[in-house]
């Protein structure tokens, strides 16, 4: 999300979020719409995996009965972004839905 600053080049935004689900130029204003799931950092994923592994060993596998449903409820939130660019393909406006 740190690339979403006014002045950032469009190709940097696409490199971070992937191909936009919609790219248009209404009234000459280049606009991209991005849709993705905002999840956890690599460090958070690693520590959560370690915790689940330790719980599995400590409970002889019984933790899976509880751990999998709990983990599946924490998958992140869907994010939609509208990003507008100026004539030089630099961000001029960002709106998060």
* Domain ranges for the chain: 1-38+78-97, 40-75
Per-residue pLDDT, averaged over 60-85, amounts to 82
Is pTM beyond 0.85 here?
A: no
pLDDT of 90 reads 97
Average pLDDT, the chain: 86
1-38+78-97 — its CATH code? Answer: 3.30.1450.10
pLDDT in tens, 22-65: 999 988 899 999 998 776 666 666 777 788 888 888 888 888 88
In this prediction, residue 56 carries a pLDDT of: 84
The yes-or-no verdict on residue 20 having pLDDT over 90 is yes
Q: What percent of the chain has pLDDT over 90?
A: 46
DSSP 26: G
| Edge-first strand listing for the sheet containing 77-85 | 22-24, 30-38, 77-85, 91-96
Nearest C-alpha neighbor of 11 from the set 70, 91, 72: 91
In the chain, the N- to C-terminal Cα span, in Å, equals: 14
């Amino acid at each position: 999300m740190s690339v979403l600053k006014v002045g950032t080049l469009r190709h940097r935004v696409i490199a971070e979020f992937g191909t936009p689900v919609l790219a248009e130029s209404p009234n000459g204003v280049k606009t991209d719409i991005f849709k993705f799931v905002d999840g956890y950092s690599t460090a958070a994923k690693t520590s959560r995996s370690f915790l689940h592994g330790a719980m599995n060993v400590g409970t002889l596998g019984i933790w899976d009965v509880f751990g999998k449903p709990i983990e599946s409820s924490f998958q992140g939130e869907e994010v939609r972004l509208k990003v507008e660019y100026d004539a030089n393909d630099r961000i001029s406006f960002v709106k998060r839905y």
